[in-house]
Amino acid sequence: MNANPKFLAATAHVDDAAVKPLPNSRKVHVGALKVPMREVSQADTPSMFGGEKNPPVYVYDCSGPYTDPAAKIDIRSGLAPLRRPWIEARNDTEVLEGPSSSFGMERLADPKLAELRFDLKRNPRKGKGNVT
């Protein structure tokens, strides 16, 4: 298998269009949980229809750090583990040494995939026995 240089982990990057802010909107975080929302500006109602300012509309934003102009994106580093403290505080999962499925172990041991792997190494987690 010849690795396609376009997909090599060493040269991976985020396309500029993927991190560009969406038009007429900005990312905001709401409440103590910092729920990601997008504040979308609306045009004013034209005077021929009664002319008035329209408030922004808020919609859930699932784009992660992408589209956030303040975010520094390095695709080789993976996403920040924002939920880690919350997951650890629940104490209902445990960290595994590595992949536990035969498929995962085979892929990890396959040297043909080495060039496609990112440097980020995070061990998988699994639910403890008390979790259904």
* pTM of the predicted model over 0.75: no
Q: What pLDDT is stored for residue 66 in this prediction?
A: 81
Model confidence pLDDT, tens digit, residues 14-61: 777 667 777 899 999 999 888 999 999 999 999 899 889 999 999 999
Q: Are 57 and 40 in contact (CB under 8 A)?
A: yes
Q: What is the residue-wise DSSP string for the chain?
A: -PPPGGG-GGG----GGGGSPPTTEEEEEETTTTEEEEEE--PPBPGGGT-B----EEEE---TTTT-TT----GGG----TTHHHHHHHT-EEE-SS--SHHHHHHHH-GGGGGG--S-----EEE-TT--
Model confidence pLDDT, tens digit, residues 78-132: 888 888 999 999 999 999 999 999 999 999 999 999 888 877 888 999 999 876 6
Say if residue 8's pLDDT is above 60: no
Q: What pLDDT is stored for residue 67 in this prediction?
A: 81
Q: Where are the domains of the chain?
A: 1-16+71-132, 22-68
Cα angle, residue 85 at apex, residues 82 and 86 outer, rounded to 5°: 90
Q: Rounded to 5 degrees, what are φ and ψ at 10?
A: -70, -25
Q: Rounded to 5 degrees, what are φ and ψ at 57?
A: -110, 140
41 Rama class: left (phi>0) / alpha (psi -120 to 50) / beta: beta
